[in-house]
Amino acid sequence: MTTPVFFIRDLPIHGSLILAPLSGYNDQPFRRLCLEFGAALVYTGLLSASAILYGSQRSDELLRFHPDEHPLACQLFGSDVDILAKAARAVEALGIDVLDFNMGCAEPKIVKGGHGAALLKDPALIGRIVTQLVATVRVPVTGKIRLGWDAGSRNYLEVARILEDSGAAMLAVHGRTADQQYTGRADWDAIAAVKQAVRIPVLASGDVKCAADISRIQARTGCDGVMIGRAAIGNPWIFQYRDLPDVPWAERVPVILEHLRRMVDFHGEYLGLRRFRKHLRRYLTSTDVSRQQRRAFLQCEDLATFTALLESVAGV
């Protein structure tokens, strides 16, 4: 075993590349694949604390973990201290390694309810929530934030210090405000300022689009780890510092098939094939696969047909 790159409290993390909490993508098959390719830590997608307590089918699905799926962080969102504490106890019992609290999601349906990045408007509430979560669970509690609600309220240093003082064991920072969504450029210098302001590990997030960006954001921010989100879709090789155009088609084919088979095993053939399509579109980028062949892939209704088509395109 390699020497840990950093610790989340007492949890050793053996690497600096982290799979970000990509809602809609981070199911069990994708998380496992990224771990096998070198991710040092993987996150679930964003999970509603209320939905967990209500026993929603979608939440139950996202909370089905594999025995090999470690280290694993479960990311919750909400704004009610008691509901969050109850949900935290429920997910801790499932065997997670880290409990992460989201204060960075800027999706309208999330912030409309006063959740996610909307909490950046109320740092005192953030402190109360994180203090309660730390007191509730035994696993480390971490947080993910943006730089503030908008350009006029970039309170990331205040929030970072509150999180540390409340007992958070690590902090991930996306270098944009909530108002920016994903537009403009991520402010890596602001992430560097957070790293200098706190003693807990800091993960950098934002504008990591290729392998070279990993080294650039590490050098610019001094961060302990780098969160990789959309760049990992269809490219688990990014956790080996490889860009998709550098991965030969012959090397992609067995990974595509293995990923799809796991999706089918986990979701069933009907849902597995359909949910795999968003991954497949990315796997097929920078290849000679024709538009007609792509259409055929995306219209496949069963695993056998897909496998035969992929093998024919690959010349197997």
Neighbours of 80 (CB within 10 A): 14
Write out the catalytic residue numbers: 105
